[in-house]
Amino acid sequence: MSRRVASLLGGLLAALALLFLAAPAASAHTELESSTPRNGARLTHTPATVELVFSEPVEPGDVHIEAAGKRLAASRGSGNDAIRVTVPKKSPGQDQLTLVWQVLDMEDGHSTSGTLSFPLTAKAPADTAAPAVPQPDGTVHTAWIAARWVGYLALALYVGGLAFLALLWPQGTTDRRTRRILTLAWAAGLAASLLTPGLQSAYGAMGTLADVFRRSTYADLSATEVGVVAACRVLMWVLAAVVLASVLQGGDRAARSPGWRVGALAVALGLLRTTGMTGHNSEGDHPGWGAVADLVHLLGVSLWLGGLTLLLLGVLPRRRPEELSAVVSGYSALAGVSVAAIVAAGAVLTWQVVGSYDALVGTGYGRLLLVKLAVLLSVLAIAHLSRGWVRTRLDIAVLLRGDRATVRPFVHSVAAETGLVLVVLAATSLLVTSAPGR
């Protein structure tokens, strides 16, 4: 066991070093910095064009600007971060020009929006109420969160399940329940990776669920960073099918082979990295540390939840003494390392994304993060009870050959722990699809 963990950690450290060196530059949400004419300027007539300057380069197709409910034609302005729109002529009785703008940040799929108002006569009040800013479709947002949750769950079950088989339970490759769990995890992961980009694009463009299934949605996405990462993630899930098929056909012999383990590790790291590349880990001043912390965080959760699931649904129902002795104690040690990694990486991500105590307690994102931490503390309390059972009752359970009455408290503890971790994944899905506290 120690050699296996040491070799795995060595490979992870090398991969993390490469990821750190290749980390992308810091990014934030696209914001409007200025306009020409400036916002609130009194004008004697409608300008022919208005130029909007954003905080980073934008494409005209990613900017939606309306006046009086009609979308205006947008084109490239004086720079890559500027957009020029043609303004319709003043209509009779019109005393104010109001532009409603919305821009999609294609690095993480979130949109920002606002209004620009220009009084057109000297008598026009400067504080005329602006029209309501359009909001994304709530149904699309809910579906996006659900797809994210399914994707995280599938990732954890697949990566954590394969690690559980390779490190602790190679003979589990012949267990029917385990094989079904891994197969369903792969299928759900592939489906989520195909649907999530479309939902993210439709949400950012304030579209409907019908837009998710339109070819044009994915065509527009293909040239963006989100689309490239999504395509890479789909490719990794396709490769994951090869890894899974190899171990299901080869059994415990394949799970123990160095060649299969290297391939599984490479695919697992690819899945973990592509899952985190469109999140908030690049926000803040140190995106490299954010990328590393996100990878460690996802890996820790996967080892923890994937192992818990196979332990609960695969190992414990068999009640085989030799498996209880080796697998349960081995998983207890692995879970301890995983939880420590989750806590450390989570602390780095919290500071990277939230940035301050005021943002933690004063923003919706920060308060949701506190709820997630509260649930996580409950999980850790239950996990502590499980570890206590392992220390004091595992030997008795082995001697009694997996007696139901002896093992039942541990089963209940593991089931409660698994259920609460699913709640933590749901909170994570909400956080990823929300604007960061920073």
Instruction: Identify whether the C-beta of residue 136 lies closer than 8 Å to the C-beta of residue 206.
Output: yes
pLDDT of 8 over the 60 cut: no
> Hey, what are 256's tokens?
């123990």
CA distance 291 to 21: 11
269 closest CA partner among 3, 55, 68, 17: 17
Name the helix (H) or strand (E) containing 60: none
Query: pLDDT tens, 269-314?
Result: 999 999 887 665 555 566 677 788 889 989 988 998 898 889 888 8
Query: pLDDT tens, 210-235?
Result: 888 888 777 777 767 778 888 999 99
Q: Where is mean pLDDT largest: 8-22, 321-335, 424-438?
A: 321-335
Quote the distance between the C-alpha of residue 107 and its chain's center.
13
Half-sphere exposure of 411 (CA within 13 A, CB side): 16
Alpha-carbon separation of residue 292 from 18, 156, 159, 346, 437 (angstroms): 10, 18, 17, 11, 20
The residue to which tokens 């590349």 are assigned: 277
> Hey, what are 389's tokens?
């059972």
CA 411, 414, 417 angle in degrees (round to 5)? 150
Query: pLDDT tens, 18-27?
Result: 433 343 333 3
Alpha-carbon separation of residue 267 from 158, 159, 182, 190, 272 (angstroms): 11, 9, 15, 13, 9
Largest CA distance in the chain: 92
pLDDT value of position 24: 38
pLDDT value of position 360: 66
Bridge-partner residues for 65, per DSSP? 101
Half-sphere exposure of 132 (CA within 13 A, CB side): 3
Quote the distance between the C-alpha of residue 420 and its chain's center.
18
CA 100, 204, 209 angle in degrees (round to 5)? 115
For the chain, which residues make up each domain, given as ranges?
A: 2-27+137-432, 32-119
CA distance 94 to 157: 60
Among positive and negative, which fits the CA dihedral 304, 282, 148, 365?
A: positive
Quote the distance between the C-alpha of residue 135 and its chain's center.
22
> Hey, what are 74's tokens?
């947008």
Strands 74-76 and 32-36 turn out to be: unpaired
Written as one letter, the residue type at 193 is S
For residue 38, the tally of other CB atoms under 10 A from its CB is 9
Specify the higher pLDDT residue, 438 or 277: 277
Query: pLDDT tens, 369-421?
Result: 777 777 777 777 776 666 665 555 555 555 455 555 556 666 667 777 777 77
pLDDT of 107 over the 60 cut: no
List CB contacts of 7: < 8 A, sequence separation 6 or more. Answer: none
The residue to which tokens 């939230």 are assigned: 354
Q: What is the DSSP letter of 45?
A: S
Instruction: Identify whether the C-beta of residue 267 lies closer than 8 Å to the C-beta of residue 236.
Output: yes
List CB contacts of 394: < 8 A, sequence separation 6 or more. Answer: 324, 325, 328, 329
Instruction: Identify whether the C-beta of residue 50 lies closer than 8 Å to the C-beta of residue 78.
Output: no
List CB contacts of 63: < 8 A, sequence separation 6 or more. Answer: 52, 74, 83, 101, 102, 103, 104
Specify the range with the lowest mean pLDDT, choosing from 30-34, 192-196, 270-274, 334-338. Answer: 30-34
| The listed CATH number (3.30.460.10, 1.20.1740.10, 3.30.420.40, 2.60.40.1220) that belongs to domain 32-119 | 2.60.40.1220
pLDDT value of position 170: 93
Instruction: Taking residues 55-63, report their average pLDDT.
Output: 78
pTM for this entry: 0.70
CA distance 46 to 119: 9
Among positive and negative, which fits the CA dihedral 142, 417, 342, 190?
A: negative
CA distance 202 to 141: 9
pLDDT value of position 409: 63
Give the SS3 label for residue 205. Answer: coil
List CB contacts of 23: < 8 A, sequence separation 6 or more. Answer: 287, 288, 291, 292
